[in-house]
């Protein structure tokens, strides 16, 4: 089982339907995520609509593992945010994401 925590839990139903249409044609999305070894779960830093669409369509996303990166650039409401990946960042990330949605996908053989 591939479990992924979504970055945030808000989304647009209209945009989700649009993304599902694209994904039905193009296939599985690639999502940047870091792996939490202690909990055995991925934390996505992007792609909340793509992950929801993949789950709805029964498609398993491809993970681009960013666990070893020193810095991370991600988007918050359309703005790029660049952060250092250190214990301060991860502490805030866990505090912010402890109650977010977790999606489970069937792992490819």
DSSP assignments along 39-66, one per residue: TTEEEESS-HHHHHHHHHHT-PPEEEE-
Q: How many residues make up the chain in this entry?
A: 109
Task: State the DSSP code for 106.
Answer: P
In tens, the pLDDT along 49-103 reads 999 999 999 999 999 999 888 898 877 777 888 888 776 777 777 776 666 788 9
Q: What's 108's DSSP letter?
A: P
Domain extents in the chain: 2-105
Give φ, ψ of 95 to 5 degrees. Answer: -60, -40
The matching CATH number, chosen from 2.30.110, 1.10.3470, 3.30.1330, 3.90.1530, for 2-105 is 3.90.1530
> Tokens at residue 29, please?
């999305």
The pTM is what?
Answer: 0.82
């Amino acid at each position: 089982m591939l479990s992924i925590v979504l970055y945030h839990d808000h989304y647009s139903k209209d945009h989700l339907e649009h993304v599902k249409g694209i994904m039905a044609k193009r296939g599985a999305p690639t999502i940047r995520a870091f792996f939490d070894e202690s909990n055995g779960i991925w934390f996505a830093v992007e792609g909340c609509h793509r992950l929801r669409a993949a789950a709805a369509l029964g498609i398993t996303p491809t993970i681009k593992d960013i666990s070893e990166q020193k810095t991370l650039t991600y988007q918050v409401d359309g703005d790029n945010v660049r952060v250092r990946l250190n214990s301060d960042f991860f502490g805030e990330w866990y505090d912010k994401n402890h109650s977010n949605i977790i999606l489970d996908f069937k792992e490819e053989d």
